Structure 1
Amino acid sequence: MAKNYARENIPLSHFGVLVAQLESLVASASQKIPEPLLCFDLLSDLISAIDEEPKDSILLWQRKCEDALYALLALGARRPVRHLASVAMANIISKGDSISIYSRASSLQGFLVDGKKNEPLKVAGAAQCLGELYRRFGRKITSGVLETTSIATKLMKYSEEFVRQEALLMLQKALEGSGGSAMASAYTEAYRVITRFGITDKSFIVRVAAARCLKALEDPVSSVRDAFADALGSLLALGMNPQAQVQPKGKGPSPPAKKLEGCLQRHLAVPFTKAGGARLKDVRIGVTLSWVSFLQVIRLKYLYPDSDLQKYGLRVMEMLRNASSVDAHALACVLYVLRIGVTDQMTEPTQRGFLVFLGKQLRSSGASPSMKIAALRTMSYTLKTLGEVGHETNYMPTHTIHRAKYSHAPGFPCIC
């Protein structure tokens, strides 16, 4: 092998030797998959060599390396091997000549379009590699997102759950990598795929993959609910910040971005108050985590002042307004949001003002018993955080402050 490369005047660096070994391994595989451990070790060394190799040397070997990696995936490698092969493919394109991303992504799409149901390992490998390329170069290949979405639809019909999982992971990376700049029809189709196939899949690992693409709060597996809840909170925060939304490209003036009006009431407050049936607690917990995600995103990513958290705290408490009796689980959920999403994100001066606000809620004639309990327990937690009673609370009756400090049980309620 080395002799052949010498004839081609290609110097055999350490990286070149590894590429030659990979080519030899693939060429000798024929119809038999190479030894996984051997492939794993070789690909690990190859990835390290790509990082250390100068770009000029990378360019000499790039096409041969890409072709060998593609051929290895086409043989039907197992997940650890196809993961390393996908990473190596993205790394070498990133460090070498990135123009090959277009032809490589297109060839992988073609492979998946022609993929057969009796070759699930081959299909899964190509999907994982295409997803990795979208993750790294998504904005360069946005024109292929719609085709990739159609491919995901096809792969969701495979009986092997790992193929369906890879299909959704590929779709997730395509949507994230494109940064919102793909055709609108691509996102419409992606939504249809996820809602029609992903969130109803019989396999929980497939639903977890779908959770990274969209929202769902009623899934019986907690890891799925948590992922959906986090996604929903971030999505609502984006909807309320139109200046951060991606603007469509093209000639002429872009239409003004619109703020998503009423989204908190529609997607968080109403689902919480209307929850019922066997999945009541699951829905409430999902909404609770979405509230926390939303509040953390607007504070940390969109840099809302911490004083704004107070008004959202009231909206959270109002979810308890119409309760005919004290519901311990609903109360615990609200307290969790008030602590993690509101109080813990406030500076000390804002926390002092929040105490005054909570005191006014206790005097409000429209506050329900559950709202007053939430106010008292949040006051207790805030007082402990501050370590003292500020002058701002001197207008409150002494017995009210005493109740705020001592009326709660030790520790914070668990919402599980």
Structure 2
Amino acid sequence: MEFISINPFTGKENARFKTLSDAELSSSIELARRGFKEWRKVKLTERCRLMSRLADELTRNRESYAVSITSEMGKPILEARAEIDKCATLARYYADHAPKFLKTKDVHTESVASYVQYDPIGVVFGIMPWNYPFWQVLRFAVPTLLAGNSVLVKHAPNVPLCSLAVEEAFRRSGFPRHAFQQLFISEEQAGKVIDHADIRAISLTGSEGAGRAVAARAGAALKKCVLELGGSNALVLMPDGDMKLAVKLAFKGRFGNAGQSCIAAKRLIVPEDRADEFIDLLSAKIKKLTDGDPMKEDTGIGPLARLDLAENLERQLKESIAMGAKLLLGGKRKKSYFQPTLITDVKPGMPAFDEETFGPLACVITYKTEQEAIKLAKRTKFGLGTAIVTRDVAKARTLAKKFEDGSVFINQWVKSDPRLPFGGQKASGYGRELSVEGIHEFVNIKTVRI
């Protein structure tokens, strides 16, 4: 197996890398194991200082990192720069808040003293996706490193240059090599890493299938894992909701990153008597999307990251149309580029409703009653996020309790934020990243009584 970097816009190969030999992989694990013993001794204030330097490094070399993203997975350069900015914000947030999050907590009991401390657990293995090739890695690695663990990362095989760039960012910021290592390894080797006695926990961001495989293997070894998997998020426009706001959120939530996001607005659920207005306004915005070279700042949407992704989206679209969905806009594919597409008359049972659609495919679903709208939104095996657009915020707060999702956003689109925990339920995985909950996933929460 090789890690091959191909520019999805030009189709040209950027670079290719061989996977590590088993002996080289064993050496990397051993380095992480030995290095953990040193890294955990580094004072938290020093770890935070290094993390602040990482934030500065990302800001200082923002353009080169953004170019790496765009050249490997095709997102427009403006979105790539925004991804780097978000990573810098994440690093600064944890550098500022880790001391509070990891502070020993005194608990009053009948003992002389009782307290809870947060100890690092060892080497943590991350398996990361290509769609946000910097953000996904750092979202996992930043709090895990600050907690005192050492980190190994297997990145997606189509973004090896981004993987190397992330590792280089840590090196330039002063992190020792044993603290963070990226690995060019196969899926078979990744399984051996999970099994390895020196690996204490695993974090995966990826597909439902990958999540099941990792969870089974980690479970067999009694190792903790955090799974951030797919989603089929609904945006529900309530009968009283602001139409222009709903269209704005639907457009941004569906077509950002060419729709290649677990939290994209995949199902747009609107009142039957307001559907025509919603479709007209959304269509007008879609028609203004400019495609082309993602390195150019005026490009609004780029190609999908790989040819197979575009082919699968085409399958989902064609099968849904064959089952009764109506194509209003787009629908054509040229290699890995997929036209921004809008379909209506989408019903449960169609791939566009039931499956995760990972691309620029907006699906409009209509309802007659509020109860039907909630039922449609909940009719999914996923449980990542839901957005509600309504003027009755008090009612929306009550409705939020009915959704089996990790996040419910009212009058805004679902997004991750370092200040808030992020994760899902059901087929969207388990565990949380970000905020205090995220940094506590990979620590030993130890009780001490005297």
For the superposition of Structure 1 and Structure 2, which TM-score range results when normalised by the shorter chain? Answer: under 0.3
Question: Normalised by the size of structure 1, how large is the TM-score?
Answer: 0.27
Question: Normalised by the size of structure 2, how large is the TM-score?
Answer: 0.25
Higher fraction of helix: 1
Higher fraction of strand: 2
Q: Which has the higher contact order (CA 8 A, sep 6+)?
A: 2
